[in-house]
Homo-oligomer: A and B are copies of this chain.
Amino acid sequence: MERVNVFEEFEKAGLYKAIFSRRDIRSQFTDKPIEDDVLSRVLVAAHHAPSVGFMQPWNFIVIKSNDVKRRVHESFVRANERAKAMFIDDKKRQTYENLKLQGILESPLNICVTCDKSRFGPVVIGRTTNFNMDEYSVVCAVENLWLAARAEGLGVGWVSILYDNDLTQILNLPEDVIPIAYLCIGYVTHFPESPELETVGWLPRMKLSDLIYSETWGNDCQTHLPELYKHVVK
């Protein structure tokens, strides 16, 4: 009886494979069009994310037009010029300049996922103390979308080097709607084995056991978690 709610091993394996093989994609897009039924499944997955007070504050603006993409790309170029200058260490800046940070123009589809702060009125269950909860709900939807896309063979890249004001103007967003994620989506030649920033040596993957505390901040976890498990994904 106790195992009645637990998934079968093959079901768990599918979920964990998606989690471990999901990547932020900027360079590997192909121009193969995305079938409507595949896009539909990915959006349904997003729509089944948790949301504070069941407010479902998300919208999905599906962008295929080269004109819209080009204007968003211009915003990226401006924002990235400013970002570059923030890396004062010459070597870091040089590495930064060599990184490809977005695939706005090459990916067949862009999706802007937004948060409607006014949906269902000003008082929302669970958003009474922390007013960012609706944005967090939208981020859960993005992560669902990302995992579903991976399972469907679609790469997703989240472009965060963009000015919200530009997106608001280009996409004609109403006053209470804010852009949360601008995503580039498409089939890919391959999914890299590891995150690109790990591969190029920008930052290492942290040791998970260093990130776990017991009861309060800074207390080592007394419970010995067994060898921290990772499904081998091939």
Residue of B64, B160, B173, B202 touching A215 (CB-CB under 8 A): B64
When C-beta atoms are compared, the residue in chain B nearest to A226 turns out to be B37
Provide 19 A-B residue pairs closer than 8 Å at the C-beta atoms, listed in order of the A residue.
A4-B153, A5-B188, A7-B152, A8-B14, A13-B14, A19-B147, A40-B225, A44-B228, A47-B211, A50-B146, A54-B202, A60-B213, A61-B214, A126-B161, A136-B181, A139-B143, A140-B140, A140-B143, A147-B147
- Taking Cβ atoms with an 8 Å cutoff, the residues of A that contact B are 2-8, 10-20, 22, 24, 32, 36-37, 39-41, 43-45, 47-50, 52-56, 58-65, 68, 79, 82-83, 86-88, 96, 99, 101, 114, 120, 123, 125-130, 132-133, 135-136, 139-140, 142-144, 146-148, 150-153, 158, 160-164, 170-174, 177, 180-181, 187-188, 190-191, 195, 197-198, 202-203, 205-206, 208, 211-218, 221, 223-226, 228-230
